[in-house]
Homo-oligomer: A and B are copies of this chain.
Amino acid sequence: MSEAHRTTYRHGELRETLVAVGVEMARNGGTDAVVLREATRRAGVSPNAAYRHFADRQELLLAVSAVAQGIAADRMVAAIAEFEPTGDAATDARNSLRGVGTGYLAFARDEPGLFRAAFSVPDDLANAHSSAKAGADGRTPFQILGDVLDQLCEAGVLPADRRVGAELLAWSSVHGLGMLLIDGPLRGFTPEMAEVTAQRLLDMVQRGL
C-alpha cells in the first residue's frame, strides 16, 4: 500500500497503488477525503506522477468508486446467503430481495465512506455492468439486484409487466434510506432504530413493487 521509498525509478504498480490508497482514504471521510496529493505521498511518489494514470482527480475518484461498488456487491451476496433455502421458490426469492436490501444498508452503515464513494460519484447507468465494479463473483450490485428481481418474477411473485425498470424503484428506496442515515437528517439514529426502519422499508418495497 504505502511504500514510502522505493529503489527503482519506475514504481511498477502506481495505478493500482493509488486506487488502493484512495479506497483507504474514502473509507474514512468519503469522497472528499480522497486527496490526490496525499495519495501520491503515501505511494512514495511525486504529486504529478498521478497524472500519468489519471486525467484528473475525478478520474481517480471513478476508479475508487468502482472498487467500492465491488465491495458493496460482496456485502450483498453475503447477506443473501444468510437466508437458508426453504424449497419454496417464492419465499426464497423474497428472502433474496430482502438480503439485497439488507446487505446494501449494512454496507452503508458499516462503511459510510465507501458507500458514498460507491454510489454518489457521477457515472452513467450505461456503465453499471462494467466489470471493474464487480464483486468477487463477477456481478455488479446492479446485476445482483436484477438477478433477484428475475428470480422474483419467475417465482410468480412479481408480475411480469412490472419487471422492467423495477431495479430503479427498489434501488431508489434503499439508496435513499442509506443516504439519509449517513449524510442526512437520520444520521444519529441508533443502529436499532436504523434496523427497524430498514426492515419496514423493505416490507414496503416488497408490498409495493
A residues with CB within 8 A of B: 119-128, 142, 165, 168-169, 171-180, 183-189, 196-197, 200-201, 203-209
Chain B residue numbers with a CB within 8 Å of A207 are 207-208
Cβ of B128 and Cβ of A184 under 8 Å apart? no
A122-B183, A122-B187, A204-B205 known; 9 other A-B pairs, CB under 8 Å? A120-B179, A120-B183, A126-B188, A169-B204, A175-B179, A175-B180, A175-B184, A203-B208, A206-B208
Chain B residue numbers with a CB within 8 Å of A186 are 125, 168
Sampled A-B contacts (14; CB under 8 Å): A119-B184, A120-B184, A124-B187, A125-B186, A125-B188, A126-B188, A169-B197, A169-B204, A171-B180, A172-B173, A172-B201, A175-B184, A207-B207, A208-B209
Chain B residue numbers with a CB within 8 Å of A142 are 185
Chain B residue numbers with a CB within 8 Å of A169 are 173, 197, 200-201, 204
Other-chain contact of A176, B124, B175, B203 (Cβ < 8 Å) = B175
What is the oligomeric copy number?
2
Q: Which residue of B lies closest to A170 (CB)?
A: B204
Chain B residue numbers with a CB within 8 Å of A205 are 204, 208
Q: Which residue of B lies closest to A176 (CB)?
A: B176
A79 to chain B, nearest CB (A): 18
Docked Cα-Cα span, A157 to B149, in Å, equals 28
CB-CB under 8 A for A172 and B180, given A207-B208, A208-B209, A209-B204: yes
A146 to chain B, nearest CB (A): 13
Cβ of A204 and Cβ of B197 under 8 Å apart? no
**Which one of A124, A176, A204 has the greatest number of beta carbons of chain B within 10 Å?**
A176
Docked Cα-Cα span, A127 to B184, in Å, equals 11
Q: Which residue of B lies closest to A196 (CB)?
A: B165
Q: Which residue of B lies closest to A203 (CB)?
A: B208
Chain B residue numbers with a CB within 8 Å of A196 are 165
Chain B residue numbers with a CB within 8 Å of A178 are 176
